[in-house]
Amino acid sequence: MTILPREQSDNVDQRLRELCLARMPGTQITNTINSEMGLDWTLQAYWGRVRRLELPWNRTEKAGQPHPSTEYLPENKRATCREDPAYEGRNGILDRVICRECFAILRDGAMHGKRGHLWTIHKKMSLETYWRRNPGVRIFTFERIARQAHIDLDKYVAKEVANYGTPDELKAAQKNPRYEEDNGITQYVICRVERCGFKSICRLAKHLDNAHGMSTKEYRRDRSWPIMTAEELDNKAKFGRSLYANRKRLAWRPDNWGDQPASWRLIATELLSREDHMPNAELITRLMSSRTLISLERYGQSAQEIGNNQAFKKLVNDVRKWIRRPGRRGR
């Protein structure tokens, strides 16, 4: 940097004040003052002087101006890359990520941040917007994640690739709501949103909300796409049948239920509340802890006395026969 005479240096300072206060970008300030005063100073030289003068410095907007050294994916591979969230993994690209907006091949960490690719090249695009437009794509390399998590790189790549169907699998699943069933797939269900193909091992509701901002109702509108795995559907059906059978069992009562004394009905209700055999000791504990209309004092003062009372045993046995729940000896 040329050392200027005092008067010329003061003129540069004055011009800097005017241009900085006018919020002119740094690159334009450099070109303007160099042109006006016949200087060849660099941007860094002006920035240093601005700091010394404590003036506001305006960065040059770089949006839409990619770095000259940036590599791009060849034209004939872009369509496949755009349709496949797992493109990098399937093609062994482990130390780079590919922008699905412009297909720039970027080093790790170059996508995100105020000085990152999305912010500077794609007009301050947020990660949320990028992921909504390009579901499931990566912003960090496979190598970085494997290194930070201390896991085997090859296994991690294989796992991540297996989480997404290929573009051909997605198209087939979109056309056939029974794709999983027809292909014997029971462990996962494929998300059929365009350009996704995520294989979910549980119902899709959470994935749809997080990845696509979509409800299951919107997802299935005008379609009959599945939202849960065949295994989960089977378990749900089994649970439903079991629940129905249990409710039916609990609801069963003998035909002459209303004809018996209240004490019989109360004992029977306790015995029927369990699917398996209920010992007399447990029955007595339940009757004593609940505020029933049965007076147990005539059978004894303690649970042991009541359990040994022959009249109480006969009452319970008669109730067991009535509701077809015999004691262990009667089985």
**Co-location of 94 and 148 in the same domain:** yes
Helices (H), 163-261: 167-175, 179-182, 205-212, 216-220, 230-251
Does residue 242 form part of some domain?
A: no
Domain that holds residue 38: 6-53
Asked if 153 and 170 sit in the same domain, the reply is no
Query: Would residue 224 count as lying in a domain?
Result: yes
Q: How far apart are CA 69 and CA 87, in angstroms?
A: 23
**End-to-end Cα separation, the chain, in angstroms:** 105
Q: Is 206 within 8 Å of 247 (Cβ atoms)?
A: no
The last residue of one of the domains, among 117, 141, 158, is 158
Helices 26-37 and 43-53 pack at an angle, to 10 degrees, of 100
Please tell me the distance from the alpha carbon of residue 130 to that of residue 70, in angstroms, as a whole number. 20
Pair 91, 139 in one domain? yes
3-state secondary structure of 309: coil
Residue 6: strand, helix, or coil: helix
Tokens 């369990």, located at residue: 274
Contacts of 176 (CB under 8 A, 6+ apart): 182
- Residue range 189-223, pLDDT digits in tens: 999 999 999 999 888 999 999 999 999 999 998 78
Do residue 139 and residue 177 come from a single domain?
Answer: no
Residue 299: count of CB within 10 angstroms of its CB:
18
Q: Does 139 share its domain with 96? A: yes
* Same domain, residue pair 169 and 152: no
Q: Which residue has the tokens 């919107």?
A: 218
The total number of structural domains that make up the chain: 4
Is 204 in the same domain as 281? no
DSSP 296: -
Q: Do 92 and 138 share a domain, yes or no?
A: yes
325 assigned to some structural domain: yes
Same domain, 15 and 35: yes
| Helix, coil or strand: residue 237 | helix
Give the residue-averaged pLDDT of 254-270. 87
Domain final residue pick, 215, 230, 245: 230
Assess if residue 282 is contained within a domain.
yes
Q: Are residues 151 and 178 in the same domain?
A: no
| 269-319 residue pLDDT tens | 888 888 788 898 988 888 888 766 567 888 888 889 888 999 999 999 999
| 195 CB-contact burial (10 Å; exposed 0-12 / middle 13-18 / buried 19+) | middle
Query: Is residue 240 one of the residues assigned to a domain?
Result: no
Looking at the domain assignment, is residue 77 inside a domain? Answer: yes
8 A C-beta contact, residue 196 and residue 170: yes
b or e along 156-192 (b: 16 or more beta carbons within 10 Å of the residue's beta carbon)? bbeebbebbbebeebeebbeeeebbeeeebeebbbbb
- In this prediction, residues 254-278 reach a mean pLDDT of 86
Per-residue model confidence (pLDDT) at position 61: 58
126-153 pLDDT, tens digit per residue, is 999 999 999 999 999 999 999 999 999 9
Domain check: are 145 and 176 in the same one?
no
173-184 per-position pLDDT tens digit = 999 999 998 999
The answer to the question of residue 40 being in a domain is yes
Q: Which of 128, 158, 188 is the last residue of a domain?
A: 158
| Residue-wise DSSP of 35-60 | HHHT----HHHHHHHHHHHT---BPP
At residue 64, does pLDDT exceed 60? no
Does the global pTM surpass 0.85? no
Cα–Cα distance, 202 to 239 (Å, whole number): 16
Query: What is the total residue count of the chain?
Result: 331
How far is Cα 88 from Cα 141, in angstroms, rounded to an integer? 9
**Whether residue 169 sits in one domain with residue 151:** no
Is 249 within a domain? no
Is residue 185 within 8 Å of 230, Cβ to Cβ?
A: yes
Mean of pLDDT values over 16-34: 89
Q: Are 145 and 152 in contact (CB under 8 A)?
A: no
The answer to whether the beta carbons of residues 132 and 214 sit under 8 Å apart is no
The Cα 24–Cα 329 span in angstroms is 98
